[in-house]
A and B are shown apart, each in its own frame.
Chain A
Amino acid sequence: MSMPPPVAQDDAQDDTRDEARNEARDANTSAPPAAYRTSVLDSQRALAGSPAAWVNQLRREALEQAHVLSLPTRQDEDWRFTDLSALYRLAFKAASAPAAVVAQAIDPYRIAEAPQRLVFIDGVYAPELSEGPSGEGLTVCSLAQVIAEPSHRLHETVRAHLGTLAPASGGAFAAINTAYLHHGAVLHVARNQAQLTPSHLLFITTREGLASYPRVLVIAEGGSQCHVVEDHVSLHQGAACVNAVTEVHIETNAQVRHARIQRDSRSSFHIARCAVSVARDARYESVSIDLGARLSRLDLSVRQEAPGVHIALDGLALVGNGQLADTHSFIDHAAANGASRQLHKTILSGASHAVFNGRILVRPGAQHTDSAQQSRNLLTSGRARVDAKPQLEIHADDVKCAHGATVGQIDQGELFYLLSRGIAPEAARNLLTYGFAADIINRLGVASLAQRLRQQVLEQTDRAGSPS
């Protein structure tokens, strides 16, 4: 069945600050999500049955959910600031066969420090571009392969974990992703094994009009350590749609570092859910960086399952004219003695929009929780808009929770310091904007990737800083 080509009908709106007008316009022009649902699920029927019955079962249930769960609109509290109607006006189909991508095309994205790399082209696993032996106790492999081989060492483990943290019932997009369940990455690190070099999961979109459904499952067994880099890139300028689901299981005393880089094309839509479960005395550290996409949304939820957990979430969204980046994070302290630290930064230029909703729940009994959250937003344009909302829900009495949000321009004290050293005002502003971003990028712990992202930020902020 052939799909109409996607057409963007709606250019960057620069009246985003005028709420009332927005509401009025939405009421008139909101695309009916139903049509989108029909078209986006259409290519699901073309999906070949999985060799594993349990996968077919998961898909079937997910498809049902995808039909019944409502696609979010601005009427939903969680999507109040993020208008998906532009997405709903487009039609995307899943790639049926992988596009041919020459090895040189991915050269700019190679990470020298990462011995393992799995590459996915428009959502389809590309073994010829992937490399790296699975190391001592570490398995980085194709999900489709594990599913296809019932005798695979990880088959039962994957079966037991897949879809448990981010179930299809959790939302329409997760349901759609699961209905297409096939390709993906599995990263498994065995008990007490430490694999500190990063494993690179590279998801590439090659052309407009395609939807891809990246899927990542990370399992860190007790006492193990690993570092995963989930990297979403585009080789085109058109509108693609990435709907990604990542699940991270961190067992007792294990440690996972997770970098998530989103640098899709500026016309694309990127909707991602990442769900993490952290067991006793375990640690999760993530750095999420959003540079691309016309509209990106990350739902990051981290649940502390048992006492003594450490969670660190760092985020950076750099948005320019016509871009919207939305991060909804949820830290669930469901047990005692947990520590969480979160720093989310956004940099806005042109007519852009950033949304941050940082929910922290301290459940009854989660005594001695120590939680600190900071949202810092840097506006370099009068046409940009930030909606930043910390959301603390504390149901235990002996806890330490601090949070704060700042929205503003470049710090005058920092600016004066640079000027007092002879640096020109424009160069000083650019350097401070760059530093604001680099502060997060430097936490990636992957030097070559950080270097490249800093360079990209430098180019983007130079452009943002110069009068246009």
Chain B
Amino acid sequence: MKDPQAMPVLEVRGLRATVGDGVEILKGVDLLVKAGEVHAIMGPNGSGKSTLSKVLAGHPDYTVTAGEVIFRDRELLAMPAEERARAGLFLGFQYPVEIPGVANSQFMRLAYNSVQTARGGEELDPLEFDDLVRERMKYLEMDPAFLERSVNEGFSGGEKKRNEILQMALLDPTVALLDETDSGLDIDALRIVAGGINRLRREDNAVVLVTHYQRLLNYVIPDYVHVFDDGHIVRTGDKFLALELEERGYDWITAPAAANSAQAQAR
């Protein structure tokens, strides 16, 4: 769905970020996402993929030390986390958080109404929201019993991921960053979740999939595949790059990158 005329929705330029006592994890990330596109980010464990998505969502553990991010014509990094979400950024967590004592429906209605209010839409009362959420759950083949349970508490890995996509379906983001939403899904669940993602795709929104496997990309076809290593994108290609990675692993791409950074350190 590459369209040269499409509007950029997310533009990351030279993003650097550190964690804790100054360890640099993101080392200059550049990424341009336009409306209607699907991007896949792949790369070795620990290379910084989740850190990138969390930094974009506004996680307080990380400090941005350089670069800028333009999200729908706004300076994303100047916005607090909740405002990023209201403006249309969604992060599907690699490890969704459990919140004992808070019912899933209660949480989702508050989120929905917070976002709706900010966008000038209508708030829903519990009954109206119940209708909406049940309808969305149908597409994801989720049991309505999950509404009454505490947020993610005791959910299986796959159930948590489905619950993330349910939230995405409710919050209707412009850019969805889905961090390993496919990990831990069985074959049927993968198909259902991919169907859910595809259903939400439009010309005016975009999806960034962080994944380790080609599988998901058979259902949600990426326009770009990026290889992430050592805190930045080391190669960008089309969907065939994912197939090649599946076959050859990362060494052939990352080894030179590692050599480069070793050189840089030596200097």
Number of interface residues of B (CB under 8 A): 30
A202: interface (CB < 8 Å) = no
Kindly identify which residue among B60, B110, B171 contacts A412, using a CB–CB cutoff of 8 Å.
B60
A422: interface (CB < 8 Å) = yes
Report how far A209 CA is from B34 CA in the complex, Å.
72
Number of interface residues of A (CB under 8 A): 26
Which of B78-86, B131-139, B209-217, B236-244 participates in binding chain A?
B78-86
A439 contacts B114, C-beta separation under 8 Å: no
A420 contacts B58, C-beta separation under 8 Å: yes
Report how far A432 CA is from B99 CA in the complex, Å.
8
A121: interface (CB < 8 Å) = no
B100 contacts A431, C-beta separation under 8 Å: no
Name the A residues within 8 Å of B85 (CB-CB).
419-422
CB within 8 Å for A416 and B171 given contacts A434-B101, A436-B101? no
Name the A residues within 8 Å of B110 (CB-CB).
418, 423, 427, 431
Report how far A441 CA is from B150 CA in the complex, Å.
13
CB within 8 Å for A438 and B101 given contacts A419-B80, A419-B81? yes
A427-459 residues with Cβ-Cβ distance < 8 A to B are 427-428, 431-432, 434-442
Which of B4-12, B18-26, B39-47, B90-98 participates in binding chain A?
B90-98
B118 contacts A418, C-beta separation under 8 Å: no
**0/1 string, B152-185, CB within 8 A of A gives 1:** 0000000000000001000100000000000000
**A62 → chain B closest CB, angstroms:** 41
Kindly identify which residue among A418, A422, A442 contacts B86, using a CB–CB cutoff of 8 Å.
A422
Name the B residues within 8 Å of A412 (CB-CB).
60-61
A421 contacts B93, C-beta separation under 8 Å: no
B58 contacts A421, C-beta separation under 8 Å: no
A438 contacts B102, C-beta separation under 8 Å: yes
Kindly identify which residue among B58, B82, B84, B150 contacts A423, using a CB–CB cutoff of 8 Å.
B82
B95-120 residues with Cβ-Cβ distance < 8 A to A are 96-97, 99-102, 106-107, 110-111, 114-115, 118
A414: interface (CB < 8 Å) = yes
Name the B residues within 8 Å of A432 (CB-CB).
99, 102
A414 contacts B107, C-beta separation under 8 Å: no
Report how far A256 CA is from B150 CA in the complex, Å.
26
Name the B residues within 8 Å of A423 (CB-CB).
82, 110-111, 114
Name the B residues within 8 Å of A417 (CB-CB).
93, 96-97, 99
Binding site for A on B (CB under 8 A): 57-61, 80-82, 84-86, 90-91, 93, 96-97, 99-102, 106-107, 110-111, 114-115, 118, 150, 167, 171
